[in-house]
Structure 1
Amino acid sequence: MKILLVEDDERIALALAEALTDQHYVVDIASDGQVGWEFVEIFFYDLIVLDIMLPQLDGISFCQQLRRRGYSMPIIMLTAKDTSTDKVMGLDVGADDYVVKPFDLQELMARIRALLRRGIAILPPVLEWEDLCLDSSKLEVTYKGKSIHFSPKEYRILELFMRHTHRVFSRSEIIEHLWSFEKIPGEETVKVHIKSLRQKLKLAGASTDFIETIYGLGYRLKQSS
Structure 2
Amino acid sequence: MPAPRPILIIEDDAALRATLAEQLTLDGDFTADEADSVSAAEAKLADANARYDAILLDIGLPDADGRDFCAKLRRDGRRMPVIMLTGADGEQDVVRGLDSGANDYIAKPFRLPELLARVRAQLRIFDNSEDATFSVGPYLFRPSVRLLTEPSRNRKIRLTDKECAILKFLYRAGGKPVSRHILLNEVWGYNSAVTTHTLETHVYRLRQKIEPDPSQARLLLTEAGGYKLAPAALGIGQA
TM range (shorter): 0.5 to 0.7
- Select the residue among 74, 85, 94 that pairs with 1:78: 85
Q: Distance in 2 between matches of 1:144 and 1:97?
A: 36
Q: CA deviation at 1:143?
A: 2.8
Aligned pairs, how many? Answer: 160
Letter of the structure 1 residue corresponding to residue 53 of structure 2:
D
1:54 to 43, 50, 61: 61
Give the unaligned 5+ runs of structure 1: 148-161, 169-194, 221-225
Answering whether residue 123 of structure 2 is matched by residue 116 of structure 1, we say: yes
- Structure 1 69/80 Cα, relative in aligned 2: closer, same or farther at 3 Å? same
Q: 2:27 and 2:210 mapped to 1: Cα distance?
A: 26
Q: Map of 1:143-182 to 2, 5 A cutoff? A: 143-144=180-181
Report the TM-score, using the length of structure 1 for normalisation. 0.60
Structure 2 Cα separation of the partners of residues 70 and 144 of structure 1:
37
2:94 — aligned with what?
87
Corresponding residue for residue 69 of structure 1 = 76
- Give the whole-Å Cα distance in 1 for the aligned partners of 2:91 and 2:182: 51
Question: Could you tell me how far apart the structure 2 residues matched to 1:16 and 1:146 are?
Answer: 32
Q: 1:35 corresponds to which letter in structure 2?
A: A
- RMSD after superposition: 3.8
- 1:39 corresponds to: 44
Amino acid at match of 2:102: A
Sort the Cα spacing of 1:18 and 1:88 in 2 relative to 1 into closer, same or farther, 3 A.
Answer: same
Deviations 1:189-215 (A, max 9, x none): xxxxxx9x93xx23xxx4xxx4476xx
TM-superposition CA deviations, 1:9-67 (whole Å, max 9, x none): 11111111011112321211001111112212222211000000001122011101111
| Separation in structure 1 between the aligned mates of residue 183 and residue 72 of structure 2, nearest angstrom | 48
**SS at 2:89 equivalent:** coil
The answer for unaligned runs of 5 or more in structure 2 is: 129-142, 145-160, 185-202, 212-220, 235-239
Aligned twin of 1:223: none
Q: What's the offset of the Cα at 1:218?
A: 3.1
SS at match of 2:116: helix
Matched, 1:29 2:43: no
Asked if structure 1 preserves the Cα contact closer than 8 Å seen for 2:6 and 2:32, the reply is yes
Query: Do the aligned partners of residues 93 and 142 (structure 1) sit closer, same or farther apart at CA in structure 2, a change above 3 Å counting?
Result: same
Which amino acid is the alignment partner of residue 34 of structure 2?
I
